[in-house]
């Protein structure tokens, strides 16, 4: 199934956690607005956050309310970005991106999750050297999409690579070219299942022990259920969803 899992599994997971994902995306919109203003035409981070929210059909009322919290028109918490690094069971590297209004609470929750499921929360930089930042665009395979045409267009727009999975195409870009590539592909009519700048492992780990795999899956599940957590990345070569 690969690092991203199947589209069917991803959609099922999103459906089951839709309200929780709305909360996370609203928080990202608020922070992007506070840092760069409420006009997505002049705030790339906000435009990206809105696009992510719309990709899972987040209502416009929710999006507008999150923007107003960021501009100060509505009262809202002050969130700060952060990340945590460590190892899960079986030596799998883990990075957790967060937006939190209480770093002590979030740190305690991270430590508890890692410790409970056989992991070890480390210091900043302890595993990030095993990852690269890349723009990732996932497009579902359909009969209407010609692989060669998509590949030619993506590379022409500045993509670094395109990978073919069982049910999707994965387009990789540098962080700097992510926005122009994604905008150009949208203009061509391509619809995205997912589009974000992510940590992509350059060194992978392959857990084989069933107990380790079970603990890894449970730890990731607990982390992703935390409202402070935006995204969890691992260097596992097997799907942990």
Q: How far apart are CA 182 and CA 147, in angstroms?
A: 17
Q: How far apart are CA 185 and CA 165, in angstroms?
A: 19
pLDDT tens digits for 84-113? 999 999 999 999 999 999 999 999 999 999
Q: Return the CATH number at 31.
A: 1.10.10.200
Q: Say if residue 188's pLDDT is above 70.
A: yes
Token pair recorded at residue 127: 């595993």
Q: What's the gap between Cα 26 and its chain centre?
A: 14
Q: Are residues 123 and 215 in the same domain?
A: yes
pLDDT at 19: 81
Q: How confident is the model at residue 4 (pLDDT cuts 50, 70, 90)?
A: low
Q: Are residues 196 and 135 in the same domain?
A: yes
Q: Work out how many domains the chain is built from and give that number.
A: 3
Give the pLDDT mean for 207-225. Answer: 96
C-alpha distances in Å from residue 7, one per residue of 52, 79, 181? 16, 31, 21
40 with 3: CB under 8 angstroms?
no
Average pLDDT over the chain, rounded to an integer:
92
Q: How confident is the model at residue 115 (pLDDT cuts 50, 70, 90)?
A: very high
Q: Are residues 158 and 189 in the same domain?
A: yes
pLDDT tens digits for 53-91? 998 889 999 999 999 999 999 998 899 999 999 999 999
Q: Return the CATH number at 172.
A: 3.30.70.980
Q: Are residues 64 and 99 in the same domain?
A: no
Q: Which domain holds residue 147?
A: 130-201
Torsion, Cα of 41, 44, 50, 56 (10° steps): 130
Q: Are residues 46 and 59 in the same domain?
A: yes
pLDDT tens digits for 12-69? 666 667 788 899 999 999 999 999 999 999 998 899 899 989 988 899 999 999 999 9
């Amino acid at each position: 199934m690969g690092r991203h899992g199947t589209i069917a599994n991803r959609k099922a997971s999103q459906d089951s956690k839709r309200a929780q994902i709305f909360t996370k995306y609203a928080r990202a919109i608020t922070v992007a607005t506070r840092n760069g203003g409420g006009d997505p035409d002049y705030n790339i981070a906000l435009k990206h956050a809105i696009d992510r929210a719309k990709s899972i059909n987040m209502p416009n009322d929710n999006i507008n309310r999150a923007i107003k919290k960021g501009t100060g028109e509505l009262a809202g918490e002050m969130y700060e970005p952060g990340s945590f690094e460590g190892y899960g069971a079986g030596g799998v590297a883990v990075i957790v991106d967060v937006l939190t209004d209480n770093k002590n609470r979030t740190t305690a929750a991270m430590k508890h999750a890692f410790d409970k499921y056989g992991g070890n929360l480390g210091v900043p930089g302890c595993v990030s050297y095993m990852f690269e930042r890349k723009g990732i665009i996932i497009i579902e395979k359909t009969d209407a999409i010609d692989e060669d045409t998509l590949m030619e267009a993506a590379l022409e727009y500045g993509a670094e690579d395109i990978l073919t999975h069982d049910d999707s195409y994965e387009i990789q870009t540098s962080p700097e070219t992510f926005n122009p590539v994604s905008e150009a592909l949208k203009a061509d009519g391509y619809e995205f299942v997912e589009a974000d700048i992510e940590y992509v492992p350059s060194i992978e780990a392959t857990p084989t022990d069933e107990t380790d795999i079970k603990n890894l899956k449970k730890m990731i599940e607990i982390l992703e259920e935390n409202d402070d957590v935006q995204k969890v990345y691992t260097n596992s070569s097997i799907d942990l969803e």
